[in-house]
Structure 1
Amino acid sequence: MDGREFLASLVAGGIAGMCVDLTLFPLDTMKTRLQSPQGFYNAGGFRGIYAGVPSTALGSFPNAALFFVTYEYTKSVLDSCVSTKKAPLVHMVAASLGEMVACLIRVPSEVVKQRAQAYPSLGTYKVFVDTIRHEGILGLYRGYGSTVKREIPFSLVQFPTWELLKAVWSWKQNHAVDSWQAAVCGAFAGALAAVVTTPLDVAKTRIMLAKTGTTTASGKVLPVLSNIWKMQGISGLFSGIVPRVTWISLGGFLFLGTYDKVHKVLLQKSSRNEM
């Protein structure tokens, strides 16, 4: 990966992240409140659907930028030493590493955002200050493990599926896919990944919203999933699935379509400037 590809991935990823996170924020709020242990209406219902948006606005660009820089760099390294038959494995490894790095920024942003969504009367700044005061910096990283455990399986499904769908579509039409086609592939890949990983997302939400000192707040995913199963059954494990799948399907369309378009435009401009 050369300098211009690095910059293109950085900027395109950041723009794509902000585009999808801010556009679809109300759906994310609905999903968080449906998954909240206090129930949808007690968590705010349809009121204050933009609660927590400042946290998302600050974290979106660097989070997505870090992901795509890591993803593209890892792909470029592995592609040079792995056969094309193992391309899905390359995409899985690259996406997993990308998520682990991106979560260093995503998790603090998510903690503040979800607490503000579930307790809209507090406001983003007060949530941030209270978290630091009562839990310290580590409080902002509560749920890091559960988030990574959600994001890696999600990426293991989404990105190989996205790359495969693009490759098949490209093969069918005998030329590279257009950005709108990459966006459609992203929507299907995102929807599939969202369905598969919804229980992990529910567990992550419960861990982030749990009161300090409780068993749930310790961040152990399996006990949380077990407790949800005992208390609410299958419906509890898949609570919020409709807004989540809708959000991520639309998000996949916007996120991956925007990334593909901006990335291509930046590389084309860079190429012209070098001529």
Structure 2
Amino acid sequence: MTTKPSPLPKARLTVREGQIDYPTLVFLHGVYHGSWAFEEFSQTFSQAGYPVAFIDMPGHWGEQRLNTRSDIGYDGIVDATTQMMDAISGRKIIIGHSLGGLVALSLRSRNDVQAMVLMATPLPQAIRSKQWRLLLEFPRQAVGFLTTGNPDWLYHHEPFTAKYFFSKFTSDEKKSLANQRIQSLHEPCKLFKEIMAQNFERQPPIKPTLIMIGSEDPTVTFAVGKQLQKITDGKIEIVERAGHDIMLEDSSSLASGVIVNWLLEHAADGR
């Protein structure tokens, strides 16, 4: 008798209304995160009148969570996000953090996507270039990840998240709360393998893009921003006193203010 595989968890869409003539800002989170990462950050946009939508990727919310052996990879994440995007009416501007930024690049050709904000978005080559450094900095955890494919080895290790998610300016309270949530999540080995196999290239139509980089981010550096710029013709903004998790930093209000101003000035029909 054959055993049917368990159904994969579903994505979740949460929408907060705003001015009906404004495009909806769609927030896409990164690995080991969820829509909770944008709870405070998104308030600036709601106050500016924008409707906002949060997409929790499959297995990142509720009781049915992903594990390292779950059969979902990058393509599955993109498909699930596409379904949620289809459920949002009207024009959309994607604000994607890290993995969410890569998904935004995969969805940029949609007719309803008007513009993109790529926050700390690591192209696969940037991740590959970090592997030797990780072996020096966190040898046990890096070897565990590279030999088993299980990303929990790194992402559940607080010294790793302290260096690669947050800046030295992040408050201990914010780091502690974020780490509790990060350690409640797991990512499939398949997801990381498929991310590394992606090849993001320049493709029409070119849409307004803001590339945001934290000044303290050791992975998504200005050099990575320049690579993203070649793909998108985007504008690079450096967020001072910020690490990879720009939206969770004490300086997050500066970043949200930059985005609001950019939407008004550079995104066609941004209001």
| Fold match by TM threshold 0.5 | no
Higher relative contact order (CA 8 A, sep 6+): 1
More helix by share: 1
Q: Which has the higher strand share?
A: 2
Larger Rg: 1
